[in-house]
Amino acid sequence: MTSTQTPSTFTLGDRTVHRLGYGAMQLAGPGVFGPPKDREAALAVLREAVASGVDHIDTSDFYGPHITNQLIREALSPYAKDLVIVTKIGAKRSDTGGWLPAFSAAELTQAVHDNLRNLGVDVLEVVNLRIMFDVHGPAEGSIEAPLAALADLQRQGLVRHIGLSNVTSAQVAEGRGICHIACVQNQYNLAHRNDDALIDDLARDGIPYVPFFPLGGFTPLQSSGLSEVAQRLGATPMQVALAWLLRRSPNILLIPGTGSVAHLRENLAAGKLALPADAMEALDRVAAAKAG
């Protein structure tokens, strides 16, 4: 995009949401396992997010497990009519906090009912099917069986819209042949740009792309180029990285996570950060250097 103006909303399912949302993963304990060290602080972040205009919250019942959904219910129920809560199924946690595949029909059904119960809702607005052929990233393989099971739960009225997470372009194409895909959630950031072509394909069809780990996740992105742009604009590297994603394509929806009200406000301010052309060029050089 060449304009410094970026649209502030996009369609998710049949709802219009602000492109800067909130991801609840960090509200659980260390390693996304167990309760937060400060429950009241976690509740305060959720309430501040909604009070600040956030209408798209990303969560999962395997965060904790169960912790983040229970916090969301305590903080925000009864939910505002414009709030879209997106959850994920397809994984579970081991007793020691490991991430395990869980996408048999029985496991997916149980996960949908767990999310319904812990969020305190009668229907889940959007459910992302996380594909777990490889815990560390997308890996090829047919997703027909688990997606058909989720589509059956949709026909039962328990799920309104279905998305995909941790998927390849081939799996997105396969999924779109089975049911309507409302969004795709994969890792993508300034330095991790494997999905460039997929983002553009989805944009042409009006399908949101939701990148996670906008600054690298568990191994944070370190870039002098990013830091220099941030310093020049009087912003934080996270704000610049988020603003770059908003500029990258109008179908990108962001879900930065934090357990801090101050950090939440910083993240939301990225929506107002204008990136001049020379800043975009410098950031594209960062991406090119990482790719090289």
Reported as a single tens digit per residue, the pLDDT across 110-132 is: 999 999 999 999 999 999 999 99
Give the C-alpha separation, 282 to 278, whole Å: 6
Which pLDDT score is estimated for 216?
72
Q: Helix (H, G, I), strand (E, B), or coil: what is residue 19? A: coil
Give the C-alpha separation, 42 to 34, whole Å: 13
Helices 169-176 & 196-204 angle (0-180, nearest 10): 20
Contacts of 169 (CB under 8 A, 6+ apart): 195, 197, 198, 201
Which pLDDT score is estimated for 239?
95
Give the C-alpha separation, 38 to 9, whole Å: 32
Q: What is the CA radius of gyration of the chain?
A: 18
- The tokens describing 164, both together, are 């995909």
* Catalytic (active-site) positions: 63
Mean residue pLDDT across the chain = 94
Reported as a single tens digit per residue, the pLDDT across 28-51 is: 999 999 999 999 999 999 999 999
How many C-beta atoms lie closer than 10 Å to residue 112's C-beta? 23
Which of these, 207, 247, 246, lies nearest to 256 by C-alpha position?
A: 246
Which pLDDT score is estimated for 218?
55
Which pLDDT score is estimated for 1?
33
- The tokens describing 220, both together, are 């944070």
Which pLDDT score is estimated for 221?
63
Reported as a single tens digit per residue, the pLDDT across 211-249 is: 998 877 655 566 788 999 999 999 999 999 999 999 999
Angstrom distances, CA of residue 125 to CA of 89, 154, 209: 13, 10, 17
Q: pLDDT below 50 — which residues of the chain?
A: 1-4
Q: What sign results for the dihedral spanned by CA atoms 10, 80, 92, 31?
A: positive
Amino acid in position 195: D
Which pLDDT score is estimated for 6?
79
Angle at 68 between CA 61 and CA 83, to 5 degrees: 95
Q: Kindly report the length of the chain.
A: 292
